[in-house]
Structure 1
């Protein structure tokens, strides 16, 4: 429904959600949340689920089958440390555990570290090399080993259970204790993009990679 940039998209409960973002003019999308209706094949604006703090340059993850967590970003008065929990089924919204410090341009991923399920947050324009983990169970943030370089505008996905970070032409992986550089690199350097995992049988084996 809205044209926007620097928003976040989340796959949750078998559908897609787009939230937040910014436009060239003053605002109507900064706090908007839209859900894709797979039956009508149309986007539905949920006016009841507008973010309490409009933001862009943030990240969002699915906490479970119905709840989206929004973390940090750039708000009307600058960088944010706030997080929001949005239950798509009940319409309930609440504040989550704040980030350790304001951050924008970071990436986040739901994963498991040291037997705890939670959210891994990496990089950012203000927090370049930092990696932080929020345990869903304890609701405590833990500082993990630093990234190999400062990064923002990057993306993360799980590949075969391994948190994998894409930034410019670089690919970093996390082994549970430290980050290491993959032997592969992207053919073209890039920022502010999107990434997703694809089942191996769908990959064209004729594709080539640049080795680092």
Structure 2
């Protein structure tokens, strides 16, 4: 096994893409749960948080079942694109999105619930639309929680291993991320290369988590 920048680049790309997707999904879900009365809310939120507690192998297995070539979704994707999702960089992004979503959802929801309801009610009395309430009041007042969610989701997606290994594989130059590169390096006895990737991962994660603490400290 030789050292390569590809796993670093792919890990960053996957994490960034997954963070954007989880932000959109988390924002939509958190806004709906925080502002509306929904039947079965407890069940829905339990499903949202399942990726936090399920073994990565279970998540990988479910993704294979849902997006595999024998599933309706997998067959539709293959018909549309001419190839299966399995063992692709897209599969790595999907796996990262699934495991990072709960962190984004919870952070955004916490931010939304922390907004003073009196401020929202006053804006509604003044005639603010639902869209303006979200963009001009709720989001700005929740920005610290949202930033925390973005950073935590990126960090979680950046370090995803188990589900990625099962669903996307560990193909050099195609689906090999930093975590899977470390795994392969240890399997082949390349401890020095494993340390290189580990130090990069530790450094990026440390800086991101430090930025969260500084954001909280400035509040």
Pairwise TM-score range, normalised by the shorter structure = under 0.3
The structure with more helix, counted as a fraction of residues: 2
Greater fraction strand: 1
Larger relative contact order, structure 1 or 2 (CA cutoff 8 Å, min sep 6): 2
Larger radius of gyration: 2
TM-score by length of 1: 0.21
Q: Structure 2-normalised TM-score?
A: 0.20
